[in-house]
Chains A and B, each alone.
Chain A
Amino acid sequence: MKTADNQGELWEVFIQSKPGQAFKHVGSIHAFDKDNAIENARDIYTRRNEGTGLWVVPSAEIIAVALNESDYFFEPATDKIYRHPTFYNLPKGLTHM
């Protein structure tokens, strides 16, 4: 099994679908440098006008939570239901809140 790679580094691709919107991750590509990466990302991920903005980030630079750690990593938020507006008791007839 070959593990060495002759395709260049891996890059993560983010597309902004419309001006003003947040960039969303869509996938990854291989490339040898920045220019190569942004062009490859364009050719692979935006053939149907998917976006007006494009970012590429070296995959090795992404810091991520490991899947098996995510339960306890996000646990502090799970029991705080009072952060949601539906938690509150409000009088009948209340509007515009």
Chain B
Amino acid sequence: MTTKPIPAQTVQLLSEFEEKINAEIKIEPSDWMPDAYRQHLIRQISQHAHSEVIGMQPEANWISRAPSLRSKKILLAKIQDEGGHGLYLYGAAETLGVSREQYIEWLHQGKAKYASVFNYPALNWADIGAIGWLVDGAAIVNQVSLQRTSYGPYARAMVRICKEESFHQRQGYEIMWRMMQGTTDQQRMAQDAINRWWWPALMMFGPHDKDSPRTSNALLWKIKRETNDALREKFLNKTVPQAELIGLQVPDPDLKKISDENYTHGEINWEEFNQVINGNGPCNQERLEHHIRAHREGEWVREAAFNSDLKKQ
């Protein structure tokens, strides 16, 4: 039986917790933490885990149609990584006292979200290039920052993930570069892919800071280390020169170079962002249905494994 700490104890515990946060000491699963901190982590880490797993779908669509054995092997390896990253993150999320079964159930019930960008379709091979370069590129900017998050298991998962993802963006950029060296049609395909993926990639960082209700506590407790806008700006400054280097046009007429290494972007279509996040993107239903079906079809495997384990005991 557990008893609730009396308020004086809570005050004491909270002040110890905040001292640790201020001193950059990681919070570990057995440490006391405010309920709001735990709830924020449960939401954020599970959303991150779901994103890794749902993110396998648009790319998996191209495994059987990859243009060479080399590219097929690379794509398989990348998608395997995403599955592995989902598992690291579910593992970190489970240390917060919620079971994996529960997390999956919340996903299936629509109570947990995943990165909205995976609700767009991968229409042709150039999209595989654009996803690796732009979507993984944006994810990496966010994840590099999260290596310094205050929750120990999340931070350690991020370190592994960042290390492994270093090839993901390169394989995507290599595809784009090769297409830009190819025929006019291939160049047109590459440009079409950046046209469609550019804005969803910028949206991955979430609403502007002034419209982001949960940011302040998350920054105070160092769950997030940088604001949405600061991260988006980092991505923009890294990526615009990469596009120019291989002759791609960034599809933003209001893009401005404000100094040697700094750019500003035009208005983001937040109406589209809200539509997609609330279930009305091109593939929301398909993504979730696929996950539910795969989960249901795997039921007999889980059952067999569970029963074989019982027999041993």
Residues of A within 8 A of B (CB): 19-22, 53, 80, 82-85, 87-91, 93-97
Q: Is the CB of B170 within 8 A of A95?
A: no
Chain A residues closer than 8 Å to B164, beta-carbon distance: 83
Q: 4 tightest CB-CB pairs across the interface, nearest first?
A: A20-B26, A96-B238, A88-B170, A85-B166
Give the shortest distance, in Å, between A91 (CB) and chain B (any CB): 6
Residues from chain A with a CB closer than 8 A to the CB of B73 are 80, 82
Size class of the contact patch on chain B: 20 to 34
Complex Cα spacing A84 to B155, Å: 22
Q: Which residues of B contact A19 (CB under 8 A)?
A: 20, 25-26, 28, 152
Contacts of B238 in A (CB 8 A): 95-97
**With the chains together, A22 CA to B73 CA distance in Å?**
31
Say whether B125 faces chain A, with CB atoms less than 8 Å apart: no
Given contacts A20-B152, A80-B77, A82-B77, contact A90 B177 (CB under 8 A): yes
How many angstroms from the CA of A53 to the CA of B174 in the assembled complex?
43
Residues of B within 8 A of A (CB): 20, 25-26, 28, 70, 73-74, 77, 81, 137, 152, 155-156, 164, 166-167, 169-171, 173-174, 177, 238, 241-242, 245-246
In the complex, chain A residues whose CB is within 8 Å of the CB of B74: 82
Chain A: minimal CB distance from B125 (Å)? 17
User: B25, B152, B173: which contacts A90 (Cβ < 8 A)?
Assistant: B173
Enumerate chain B residues within 8 angstroms of A93, measured Cβ to Cβ.
Answer: 245
Chain B min CB distance to A76 (Å): 11
Q: Which of B28, B137, B152, B177 sits near A91, CB closer than 8 Å?
A: B177
Instruction: Name the distance in Å between A82's Cβ and chain B's nearest Cβ.
Output: 5
Q: Report the Cα distance A52→B70, complex, angstroms.
A: 46
A84 to B165: give the CA distance in the assembly, Å: 9
- Report whether B246 and A83 are in contact in the complex, using a CB–CB cutoff of 8 Å: no
Residues of B within 8 A of A95 (CB): 238, 241-242
Interface contact B167-A88, CB-CB below 8 Å: yes
| A94, B177: Cα distance in complex, Å | 11
With a CB–CB cut-off of 8 A, which chain B residues contact A80? 73, 77
A-B pairs with beta carbons under 8 Å apart, 17 shown: A19-B28, A20-B156, A80-B73, A82-B74, A82-B167, A82-B171, A83-B77, A83-B164, A87-B167, A88-B167, A88-B171, A88-B174, A90-B177, A94-B245, A95-B242, A97-B170, A97-B242
Bound CA span A90–B242, Å: 11
Bound: A36/B125 CA distance, A: 60
Using A82-B171, A88-B173, A89-B177 as known contacts, list a sample of 13 further A-B pairs with CB atoms less than 8 Å apart, ordered by residue number in A. Answer: A19-B25, A19-B28, A20-B155, A53-B28, A82-B73, A82-B167, A85-B170, A87-B170, A91-B246, A94-B245, A96-B238, A97-B169, A97-B173
Q: Which residues of B contact A87 (CB under 8 A)?
A: 167, 170
